[in-house]
Amino acid sequence: MKNSFLTALFLSVLFVCTGTMNAQKFDELDKSPMDVAAYPASHRDSNKLVKIAYSRPQLKDRPLGKLAPTGKVWRTGANEAAEITLYQAMKVGDKVVPAGTYSFFTIPGEDTWTIILSKDTNVWGAYSYDQANDVVRTTGKVTKADDSLEAFSIAFEEAEGGVHMHLGWGTTRVAVPFMSVTM
């Protein structure tokens, strides 16, 4: 009887430990890890104006045009389409966009990039992109930098009347103004 009880106890502990070990299997780090850029950038400031979640692909000796093709809708990063949240209404281009969350697409070009906020969210890549769901389209001017960024990057900078979003990859830089509005 005592042996049966000890055997049952041992098997129960073994089953629980085996189940726990299997539950703790983690995936490897994504090749294009997700990141977030926000303004203000301080993690302690909960009064954000804008935040974007995006994945950061690496050039890895590939030309930018191969990863973000000129003239084609791009998810602006890797994996899921980038998602931007405006915490208040903002003027993007010549249109006031209400507070909310939108997919953020771009169409890379030589001198300007088309910037698109779409009401379609939770989408993978740009495969299901539908222009009919655009909330706004505007352009961002392309400049060239002396330094090169291996990983696609987004940063915000305070500007008079709002913020500028800066997209950077390789030596390409694109600035997109987001202006505050009073509603």
- Give percent of the chain with pLDDT exceeding 90: 63
The DSSP code sequence of 54-68 is: EE--B-TT--HHHHS
Q: What is the mean pLDDT of the chain?
A: 87
**Burial class (CB within 10 angstroms; exposed 0-12, middle 13-18, buried 19+) of 166:** middle
The tokens of 25 are what? 């299997």
Q: What pLDDT sits at residue 36? A: 93
Q: What is the mean pLDDT of residues 174-178?
A: 94
pLDDT reported for residue 14: 55
pLDDT tens digits, 111-152? 999 999 999 988 888 888 999 999 999 999 999 999 999 999
For residue range 18-30, list pLDDT tens digits in order: 555 557 888 888 8
Q: Which amino acid is at 81?
A: A
Are 6 and 14 spatial neighbours (Cβ–Cβ below 8 Å)?
no
Q: What integer pLDDT is reported at residue 182 of this predicted model?
A: 62
Asked whether the predicted pLDDT for residue 11 surpasses 60, the reply is no
- Token digits of residue 8: 């049952």
Cα–Cα distance between 177 and 160 in angstroms, integer? 10
Whether 79 contacts 125, CB under 8 Å? yes
- Per residue in 68-112, pLDDT (tens digit) is 999 999 999 999 899 999 999 999 999 999 999 999 999 999 999
The predicted pLDDT at position 108 comes to 97
Question: pLDDT tens digit string along 35-65?
Answer: 899 998 766 667 789 999 999 999 999 999 9
Q: How many C-beta atoms surround the C-beta of residue 146 within 10 A?
A: 5
Structure tokens at 138: 């505007």
Q: Considering just the CA atoms, what is the radius of gyration of the chain in Å? A: 23
Q: State residue 183's pLDDT score.
A: 46
- pLDDT attached to residue 16: 57
